[in-house]
Structure 1
Amino acid sequence: MINNISKITIYVENQEAAKEFWVNKLKFVIKFEQQIGPNMKWIEVAPSMDSQTTFIIYDKNLMKVQNPNMNVEHPSIILSTDDIDKAYSEMKNNSVEVGELMTMPYGRMFSFKDLDKNDYMLREDK
Structure 2
Amino acid sequence: MIQKVGQIMVYVNDQDKAAQFWTEIMGFRIIADRDKEEEHRGIEIGPANGAETSIMLYNKDFVARMSPGVTLGTPSLMFISDQFDQLHANLKEKEIKVGDIVQLPGGRVFNFADFEDNYFAVMESNEA
Q: Deviations over 1:12-56 (max 9, x none)?
A: 010010000000111100111111773221111001252111011
- After the TM superposition, which segments of 4 or more aligned residues of structure 1 sit over 3 Å from their partners? none
- CA-based RMSD of the aligned residues comes to 2.2
Deviation at 1:76, TM superposition (A): 9.3
In structure 1, the partner of 2:53 is 53
In structure 2, the partner of 1:20 is 20
Higher strand proportion: 1
In structure 1, the partner of 2:68 is 68
What letter corresponds to residue 27 of structure 1 in structure 2?
G
Instruction: Give, in whole Å, the separation in 2 of the partners of 1:39 and 1:47.
Output: 25
Percent sequence identity is 26
Q: Cα–Cα, structure 1 residues 35 and 53, in superposed 2: closer, same or farther, change >3 Å?
A: same
Q: Structure 1 length as normaliser, TM-score?
A: 0.55
Q: Structure 2 length as normaliser, TM-score?
A: 0.54
Instruction: Give, in whole Å, the separation in 2 of the partners of 1:76 and 1:35.
Output: 27
Instruction: Give, in whole Å, the separation in 2 of the partners of 1:65 and 1:36.
Output: 19
Deviation at 1:58, TM superposition (A): 0.8
Unaligned runs of 5+ in 2: 78-128
Instruction: Give, in whole Å, the separation in 2 of the partners of 1:16 and 1:54.
Output: 17
Instruction: Give, in whole Å, the separation in 2 of the partners of 1:37 and 1:29.
Output: 20
Select the structure with the greater relative contact order (CA < 8 A; seq sep ≥ 6): 1
Report matched runs for 1:39-50 at 5 Å: 39-48=39-48, 50=50
Unaligned runs of 5+ in 1: 78-126
In structure 2, the partner of 1:33 is 33
What letter corresponds to residue 27 of structure 2 in structure 1?
K
